[in-house]
Structure 1
Amino acid sequence: MYRKSRVKITLIMLTVALFVFIYYNSPLRANKNYPLANGTFIQLDLTQNWDESKWNSELHYIKQNKMNYIIITGVSFSSENGSKIVYKSNIPGFTKIYGQTDPIDLCLKTSEKLGLKVFVDTYFNSDWWQKSGDDPQWLYDQVYKINQVSDELYNKYHSKYPNSFYGWYFPYEVDNSKFNNLKQFSILSNAININLRYLKSKSERLPILLSPFMNSSCGTAKEYANNWTYFFAHTDLIKGDIFCVQDAVGSGRLNLDDVNPWFTALRKSVNSKPGLLFWANAENFDYVNNSSVPINRFIEQLKLESPCVDNIVTFSYSHYYSPNNIDKGFQMAYYDYVINGKLSVHKPKSPENLAVKTLNKNEFLISWEAPKDNNDICGYNVYRDGILVFNTTVQRRYGGDPKGLCMNFTDRPLLKNNMYSCNYEVKSFDFYGNLSNSSNDVKVLVNVDKELPNVLSKGCRYTIYPLPDYNYNDPYFTKLTDGVYSNSNSSKDKAFVGWYGKPVDITIDLGKKTDLQQISVDYLRDPLPWIQLPDSASVSVSNDGLYFEPIGLLRMPSVPYSERSGSKYRIYLTLNKPVSAKYVRLSSFSNPYTYMFMDELEIRSN
């Protein structure tokens, strides 16, 4: 018994000693016990007009915030417009961009003075986003170009800036939608090894940083971690290389509740590769309106991720928080946290004089005024019946919305049965994320379209032009009039029919000339897989199937800012009086870079 007790005590002491060793050697052990971002990504298009003074200003902010690392991307790239590069290159086929300035030299020069370490990007082909994970030759060809650019970068800059030119950034960001099986990860590991072995052969091997991401709708954390474990076992990654995972919170692919489980699973995978470092790439933006998020959400990400990782960087302080690109309030709030380890909880002043004006039937202009004391205000939230429907925030100078901070919003609520009014209110929020008390509230009346009782279109034949995408097909032209609704708000539900980036005409043959008064369409909206409501949709009718007469537009509702998951929208066109027709055509017009999905199209009458 005594011997067992001694063994137990020894194990506890070793565990404590190991924790202390890790803690005191972790970059996160700064400013006592609260986590900080230790570096930032900078896309070089942001810096295209920066001179040495501007680089010096930016990197001093980075240093002031106790960051030690910079990852620069966009060094060279190919697209349908040709191949571009940011410095004077001798590689055939590349065109120099951003005038005569050399952003790489300016970044490395200033970083050398300030003691910052820079990971340098190489070459990226934008076709990556259209390629599958099963095209090895394409990926290997891109890596050969990476090797070319790496060699030139190393010879041009490393001896000149040996302390700041710290590592390489692998530019192709892997996710679990494109890469989700061992065959694909085998292709990926071969591609990485082509790069790593070339760098080693040229004595240019520096720490390499990879920054993949994940989507919780495309698989589980365990599946993704297992694939990376296989990858680590088959690559030449060494001690000091960095697996720096995007937390995918800003892009919406993970929510905050997902972060710790996914990073915990990936931590176990990283541990299978001795010496490999695990970093988090915390995203400080919101994909819904591409805005900078208040500091409190960013700090919540740091707190969730820090127990799992060795270090944290961000995408991106320079783009979303730096005074060189946005209101200095973000820098002031974040620096306050850097120094004090806590966030202010002081409420900003409330907006004033909220007013609602009726523009059209069920369409309202909401406007308000800033409080008299508004120096600390970052933006405003508009609520309809307690639901956050609109958010506006101060905008970035480069990459932001040129309209800037809005003081009004036009709302077209999705109208549901037993809905007779809407109640609006507005709150301001500061750079920390603190919300004010509500403004005055305003109630307005709405007129709901009542669903007419008789379905005329069930089982009717129809034509579609163009045909749906293969993966979301309607092979027998039955899905849209069969009366079968989706069981889930996901494109994986077989009841849905889908198209990518195309205007679509659907023409229903009612079989005979019939009096009709209402058209209803069930559209899916799911922002992560780029499924959006149409920009517009019109209805026309015909008796001969040749000449169609327009009878109205569907009223596309406003999508609440707070709605982040898949939702179904039933949208109506109700006529004042019936029209008689044999054919009914729905024409839906979508953004060319989004999907459109629907599961039912109904023609109704009294």
Structure 2
Amino acid sequence: MWNKKFISIILILVVLLFTLMYFNSPLRNNKNYPIVDGSFIQLDLTQNWNSDKWEKELLYLKENKMNYLIITNVSQTEGDITKTCYKSKNKSFQKLYGNIDPVELCLKNAEKLNIKVFIDTNFNSQWWQISGNDSLWLNSQMERANLIASELYENYHSKYPNAFYGWYFPYEVDNAKFNKLSDFDTLSNALNIHLNYLDKNHKRLPILLSPFMNSSVGTAKEYASNWEYLFSKTNFKSGDIFCPQDSIGSGRLKLDEVNSWYTALRKAVSKKPGMLFWANTETFDYVNNSTVPLDRFLKQLKLEQPTVDNIICFSYNHYYSPNNISNGFNEAYSYYVKNGKLPNEKLNMPQNLNVAAIEKNKFKITWQAPKRTDNICGYEVYRDNILISRIMVQRKYGGDPKVSSNTIVDIPILKENVKSYTYKVRALDFSGNLSKPSNLVTVNVDSIKKLPNIVSKNCTYTLSPMPHENYNDPKLTKITDGKYSSINSVKDKNFTGWYNDPLDITIDLGKVIPVQQFMVSYLRDPIPWSELPDRASISISQDGINFTPVGFIRIPSIPFSDRYGSKYPLYLTLDTPINARYVRLFSVTKANHYTFIDEFEIRN
């Protein structure tokens, strides 16, 4: 009897001891769900912050178990002018943000809160225009970076030795510009100029690089192989960090591609002893330049966690912090950090959806918010169950004040045999949960009826200007040959493409004949910057000299859910035929984008 009591007492003591050890050991914090350990912040966001605002911001990070901050835009060069956030001794540099020194304010508060800060040096905006093998240009940027790194170190490191933890290399490398070993030789030489200078002058700290990747221009294996080559030639040290952007927010990778790309890069990093491999998870959505709901963010974290040593993000401060957006994002993420899951509250649905015609086949869609809105971050609008718009709460800095929370305008694409569309709207919460749909509203639209006779096939035409050299039409045959693209990508050789310029295509039908319908087949592929035109018009002529305008090509709204390559056959149909020999398309390309066309058809 005594032995049983003794054994029971021993077991109770063992359980109590284990419980005490567990709740006071790292084991308890070793959760099987991923959280981010830090964030990037661009200093233009902080240009009006005082010390209290900085402390408040860093407390949000600390309360969410973050230990790192990467500050960028410390100094910027455009042309021959360099501007710094701190007060430089170089009299040719200009001071940004008056007397405010955001670097000092950041480090002072980070020192108090035990947050480690990586600091960038200088970024020259010409980076996006130069080629990957321009060694003279890139090496000259390293000379300026060395000068600024020296000033930053002397100004702040001894004052904030625990906070001033590392350097950030601000030039973002990608696999479109950097895709050959010679490009990585150029990059390695430039990095060594920077790293050797820091070493020699006793200012060497861990350095963090954050490149990005694009699956439409190369493979994970190719990119990893190039980085492995660079690691073998560059003077990195133990503790330096390779931290690729996951490229989900920018749309350059798809969610189902993330794990394979990080797995390939993990193997490359493993060949460099002592180098750390982190992920930089993107918190935004390029389609509408908005904050992304937390469910997608967590999907990214879970895909990346198995492959990396740590995860930071771009950017908690810009897209989730209560200093810059509704507190609901921070509350939901904090709940996740504590509980391993997002909050899931019932949402009230939007009320009184109304769809009114502004003009023919163009609609204004409005709705009323439900009585409770504090748990709502936006609304999703659907047309025939296709997500056409997501209206998100806007950021204070970097948001669009013109975005309305309960109104959109929709110009639906017109199709064959489609005579109506049905709309609905749902409320969206910070976690990504959706309400039940509002009332449904159906509207009538015109249906496209293709006329039977193509009269332009294999006709000759003129182009002005000539297309981009990579997407040319040297024999002037592609646009009327009747051959459509087999894939909706700029890689398809059936497309002809122009960059930035408005374009003029004039088809010679060979003789004066009746024409009634005009169709232009455009490609929209946003990652390689291919968009529908701003506007497009048709004019006709019998002599090729005097042209008469006959109408505009109708440019539809792009659905929010259309993220990758899609073809848009756009029509202008006249009420009655008109006689013409020459038909001219004038199409205005969106600024800094491409226009791609595979066919221009004329029918009667």
> What is the TM-score normalised by the length of structure 1?
0.94
Correspondence list, 1:557-596, <5 A: 557-596=556-595
Runs of 4+ in 1 over 3 A off after TM superposition: 27-31
The amino acid that maps onto 1:523 is: Y
Corresponding letter in the other structure for 1:410: V
Deviation at 1:29, TM superposition (A): 8.5
CA–CA separation in structure 2 for the residues paired with 1:427 and 1:262: 34
Aligned residue in 1 for 2:200: 201
CA distance in 2, matches of 1:544, 1:96: 62
Instruction: Determine the structure 1 residue equivalent to 2:57.
Output: 58
- Alpha-carbon distance change, 142 to 81 in structure 1, aligned in 2, over 3 angstroms: closer
Structure 1 partner of 2:87? 88
Deviation larger for 518-527 or 472-481 = 472-481
Relative to structure 1, is the Cα distance of residues 416 and 28 closer, same or farther in structure 2, using a 3 angstrom cutoff?
farther
Query: Secondary structure of the residue that 2:561 maps to in structure 1?
Result: coil
Query: Which residue of structure 2 lines up, in the alignment, with residue 358 of structure 1?
Result: 357
What secondary structure is seen at the aligned counterpart in 1 of 2:216?
helix
Q: RMSD over aligned Cα, in angstroms?
A: 1.4
In the alignment, the residues of structure 2 paired with residue 547 and residue 43 of structure 1 have an alpha-carbon distance, to the nearest angstrom, of 55
* 1:111-148: CA deviation from partner (whole Å, max 9, x where unpaired): 01111100001011111111221211111111111111
Superposition pairs for residues 458-497 of structure 1, below 5 Å? 458-497=457-496
Tell me by how many angstroms 1:572 deviates.
Answer: 0.2
Aligned to 1:144, the other structure's residue is in SS state helix
**How many residues are aligned here?**
579
The answer as to whether partners of 2:530 and 2:595 remain within 8 angstroms in 1 is yes
* SS state at 2:77 partner: strand
Residue aligning to 1:434: 433
Give the AA of the match of 2:333: Y
The one-letter amino acid of 2:245's match is Q
Partner Cα distance (1:475, 1:230) in 2: 38
Paired position in structure 1 for 2:66:
67
The one-letter amino acid of 2:451's match is L
User: 1:311 maps to what in 2?
Assistant: 310
User: How far is the alpha carbon of 1:93 from its aligned partner?
Assistant: 3.0
**Structure 2 match to 1:398:** 397
Counterpart in the other structure of 1:17: none
The CA distance in 2 between the partners of 1:139 and 1:522, in whole Å, is: 41
1:389-538 → structure 2 map (5 Å cutoff): 389-538=388-537
Distance 1:549 1:71 in 2: 59
CA contact (8 A) 2:377 2:392 kept: yes
Retained in 1: the 8 A contact 2:494–2:598?
A: yes
CA-to-partner distance for each residue in 1:272-318, whole Å, 9 max, x for gaps? 01110000000010000010011111111111111111111000000
Deviation at 1:405, TM superposition (A): 4.1
- Note the 1:297-336 alignment, pairs <5 A: 297-336=296-335
Query: Partners of 1:81 and 1:345 in 2: how far apart?
Result: 53
Displacement of 1:265: 0.9
CA shift for structure 1 position 515: 1.3
CA separation in 1, counterparts of 2:410 and 2:596?
A: 23
Q: Which amino acid aligns with 1:451?
A: K
CA contact (8 A) 2:532 2:590 kept: no
Map of 1:118 onto structure 2: 117
Name the amino acid aligned to 1:40: S
- 2:377 counterpart SS class: strand
Q: Find the aligned partners of 2:342 and 2:168 in 1 and give their Cα distance.
A: 33
Q: Distance in 2 between matches of 1:519 and 1:368?
A: 36
SS at match of 2:199: helix
SS at match of 1:148: helix
Query: Would the aligned equivalents of 2:458 and 2:481 in 1 still touch at CA under 8 Å?
Result: yes
Normalising to structure 2: TM-score of the pair? 0.94
Distance 1:603 1:90 in 2: 67
Instruction: Give 1:192's aligned residue.
Output: 191
Distance 1:30 1:514 in 2: 78
The alpha-carbon deviation at position 493 of structure 1 amounts to 0.8
Q: Does 2:223 match 1:224?
A: yes
Question: How far did 1:579 drift?
Answer: 1.5
Paired residue for 2:548?
549
Contact 1:28 1:310 in 2 (8 A): no
Tell me which amino acid in the other structure corresponds to 2:95.
Answer: K
* Distance across 1 between alignment mates of 2:374 and 2:191: 49
Query: Aligned AA for 2:311?
Result: I
Q: In structure 1, the residue corresponding to 2:244 is in which secondary structure?
A: strand
CA contact (8 A) 1:28 1:36 kept: no
Alpha-carbon offset, residue 31 of structure 1:
5.8
Deviations 1:302-340 (A, max 9, x none): 111111111110000000001111111111111111111
Identity rate, percent: 60
Q: In structure 1, what is the Cα distance between the partners aligned to 2:489 and 2:96?
A: 42
Q: Does 36-45 or 135-144 show the bigger shift? A: 135-144
CA shift digits 1:192-224 (9 cap, x unpaired): 111100100000000000001101111111111
- Rounded to whole Å, the distance in 1 between the matches of 2:296 and 2:28 is 21
Structure-2 residue corresponding to 1:161: 160
The residue type equivalent to 2:587 in the other structure is S
Question: Structure 1 regions of 5+ residues with no counterpart?
Answer: 1-26
| CA distance in 2: counterparts of 1:139 and 1:125, whole angstroms | 10
The aligned amino acid for 1:543 is Q
Measured in 1, the distance between the counterparts of 2:280 and 2:448 equals 47
Q: Corresponding residue for 1:339?
A: 338
**Partner of 1:108 in structure 2?**
107
Q: SS of the residue aligned with 1:455?
A: coil
Distance in 2 between residues matched to 1:238 and 1:486, nearest whole Å: 49
CA distance in 1, matches of 2:310, 2:517: 58
State how far apart, in whole Å, the 1-side matches of 2:80 and 2:537 are. 36
Q: CA deviation at 1:79?
A: 2.0
Cα distance in 1 for residues equivalent to 2:28 and 2:201: 36
**C-alpha separation in 2, matches of 1:310 and 1:259:** 16
SS at match of 1:522: strand
**2: CA distance between counterparts of 1:476 and 1:145?**
48
- Superposition pairs for residues 10-49 of structure 1, below 5 Å? 30=29, 32-49=31-48
CA distance in 1, matches of 2:501, 2:492: 21
Q: Measure, in 2, the Cα distance between the counterparts of 1:32 and 1:519.
A: 61
Q: CA 1:28/1:189 → structure 2, altered by over 3 Å: closer, same or farther?
A: farther
Contact kept, 8 Å, 2:417 with 2:448, in 1: the verdict is no
- The CA deviation at 1:347 is 2.8
What letter matches 2:123 in structure 1? F
CA contact (8 A) 2:324 2:397 kept: yes
Quote how far apart the aligned CAs of 1:92 are: 4.6
User: 1:517 & 1:30 partners in 2: Cα distance?
Assistant: 71
Shift of residue 346, structure 1, vs aligned partner: 2.2
Note if contact 1:351-1:369 (Cα within 8 Å) is conserved in structure 2.
Answer: yes
Report the CA distance between 1:597 and its aligned residue: 0.5
Matched to 1:439, the amino acid is: S
**Letter paired with 2:180:** N
Letter in 2 for 1:51: N
Give the Cα separation in 2 of the matches to 1:563 and 1:189.
38
Name whichever of 404-413 and 252-261 sits farther off: 404-413
Per the alignment, do residues 354 and 346 of structure 1 end up closer, same or farther by CA in structure 2, a change over 3 Å counting?
same
Aligned to 2:249: 250
